[in-house]
Structure 1
Amino acid sequence: MVWRIAQVIIPVFLIVAVGYAYARRTRPDLTAFNRIVLDVLSPLLVYTALAAKEFRLGDYGPLLAGGAILILATGAVAWVLSRLTHTQPRTLVPVVMFTNCGNMGLPLALLAFGPSHFGAAVALFSISNVIHFSLGARITSAHARTRDLLLSPLMISSALGFASAATGVRPPDVIFTGMKLLGEAMLPLMLFALGVRLTLLKREDIPRGLLGAFARPLIGLAVALPLAWMLDLQGEAKGQLILFSALPPAVMQFLLAERYRQEPERVAAMILLGNALAVVFVPIGLALSL
């Protein structure tokens, strides 16, 4: 078991470490890089995984329901925690609700459960994005324009992917293969970008980031374990949900917090520290899921 977990996490953290080391030396500007990942590679990865012939939407109904319930339940617990700790709910609640299921979750799921079950991880990623860019944006700010967020390339690709999965209509194989190759390039690139972002973590950010960094995986696991039992999830479906729950906070939440000026510095500290602590909580999630 220890060796199997090591086989999953070592490649992931190796790429993160390379990104971190590179950024420490060169301080790259990832603005254009991030735009390409968000507007081109991520949508292609999501669409091709959901529209693949081996992905059968009906097989993942309980898992998708579990993912949605998990997100909402962790948000409810986080709201209570924010009241007890006198933290602004609009700051803490989205950090706890939404996991880094793109940058870190997708590569981990691919290595842990194999290509045949990768579609399930992408489906969870898509459901998370739908809730994040609708309810999550509204929690972050009452002035969020949900319509603009829902019309993003990532959301449109999710809708098209689920439609293809339901109807079986997809592009010809010769085109679909090219789309898939482009989408799969996103996985190592997102890990590399995560390593670059970790160079922004400063020592003074640690105290204000600890609450969200620890609350995200701890609350997630506390909700996911009984939830998997109640939904009677078995095998890879149970493992996918537990791994999903143990992931660090979503990097995307910092972009929303910055856009709507909702304590972006504190949100950034929670997210960066949470992703640094993934070296502790991801092995725990894998141990419980494999």
Structure 2
Amino acid sequence: MEHLFLNVLNVVLPVLICAGAGYVLALTKTPFDNKVIGAIVSRVGYPTLIISHLSATKIAVGTFLDVMAAAVLAIAGFGVLGFAALKVMRLPARAFLTPLMHGNVGNIGLPITLLALGDAGMAYTMAFVVVVLVSIFTVGMWIPAKEFSPRKLATSPIIYAVVLSLVLMASGYSLPQPVAKSFDILGGLSIPLMLLTLGHTLASLRVNRLGRAVTLTALHLVMAVAIASGLVWAFGFTGAERGAVILCCLMPSSVATYLFIDQHVPEYGPDVAGFILVSTLTTIIALPLALSYWI
């Protein structure tokens, strides 16, 4: 048991240390522009990371697409169950549905699956990340803003990075070596920048009504276990793809969703911030348990 705990700690602790560095940057008021870094990661880091990693990793295209389909169903499941629960709790869906639907699969999911499941696990997690990112910056924005904007979907570099990666995976072709190395360097920026941004953002959140945050976190965790179990059974996932789907479903609420709530429904910003903070801290317990007894 002690050996198992140390293995799990070796997976979780590096992520916490990197996020902690971002937290310290916020506490020491070191200049750190979340919007600039977020734009770099979403428009340069993520696309190059996806292309460089997927084109070099030997995984089945069919299974990759299955994981993408599972991610779509997971978001839909969180949306339906979350909407029903919010109605019962008499909380506005416009403020709380987006953070309930979208997990932090980028900042936490990618490094965790890389350390726990290796390159194959990270590749399958990218399938989940792609779907969640597209959903966050479309549906996730539309719900609090009450507007529909397909233009953002059509102009997302991530979409074209996935298409190119699938073509390379299916055809067996590879990028020219100078391009591949450039994408490796640029893609390597993503994970450390995401973790620093996570810690910095958590340090600056304004938290309110801790009881509500704990309730929403418990609700999210119960939904995550139910949805992950259902998806693994329905698709018959095994090995790395099974672990990736379970871990992605267990991810805490995405920090990115707070920005939309704070912009469009600011009166609920502190409540959403509390939910994000508590759900993130809960993963310190949830992830070791999942890695020890479920994956």
TM-score by length of 2: 0.88
Larger mean Cα displacement after TM superposition, 237-246 or 194-203: 194-203
Amino acid of the residue matched to residue 269 of structure 2?
Answer: P
Deviations 1:16-60 (A, max 9, x none): 122212321225332322322222212211222233352431233
Shifted more, 228-237 versus 147-156: the winner is 147-156
Deviation at 1:222, TM superposition (A): 1.8
Cα pair distance change 1:267/1:202, threshold 3 Å: closer
CA–CA distance in structure 2, aligned partners of residues 102 and 72 of structure 1: 19
| Paired residues of 1:243 and 1:289 also in contact (CA < 8 A) | no
Per-residue Cα deviation, 1:108-159 (whole angstroms, up to 9, x for no partner) = 0100001233211111111222333333333333314132244133333233
- Checking the alignment, whether the CA contact within 8 Å between 1:100 and 1:251 is kept in structure 2 is yes
RMSD: 2.3
Query: Which 10-residue stretch deviates more, 215-224 or 92-101?
Result: 215-224
Instruction: Give ranges in structure 1 of 5+ residues lacking alignment.
Output: none
How far apart are the structure 1 equivalents of 2:259 and 2:59?
A: 31
1:52 aligned partner: 56
Secondary structure in 1 matching 2:245? helix
Q: Which moved more, 1:31-40 or 1:109-118?
A: 31-40
Secondary structure in 1 aligned to 2:175?
Answer: coil
CA separation in 2, counterparts of 1:250 and 1:152? 19
Matches within 5 A, 1:1-290: 1-30=4-33, 31-52=35-56, 54-202=58-206, 204-261=208-265, 263-290=268-295
Mapped partners of 1:244, 1:84: distance in 2: 26
State the percentage of identical aligned residues. 24
Give the Å deviation of 1:234.
Answer: 1.3
Q: Distance in 2 between matches of 1:75 and 1:56?
A: 29
Q: Deviation at 1:205?
A: 4.9
**1:74-115 per-position Cα deviation (integer Å, ceiling 9, x unaligned):** 211101100110011122222121110001100001000012
- How many Å separate the matches in 2 of 1:288 and 1:57? 29
Q: Deviation string for 1:162-187 (max 9, x for gaps)?
A: 34334445531221122112102211
The number of residues matched between the two structures is 290
SS of alignment partner, residue 261 of structure 2: helix
Q: Partners of 1:264 and 1:87 in 2: how far apart?
A: 13
Task: Confirm or deny: 8 A CA contact 1:44 1:179 kept in the other structure.
Answer: yes
**Counterpart code for 1:173:** Q
Q: TM-score, normalised by structure 1?
A: 0.89
SS in structure 2 of the partner of residue 49 of structure 1: helix
Task: Provide the rounded CA distance (Å) in 1 between the counterparts of 2:133 and 2:166.
Answer: 13
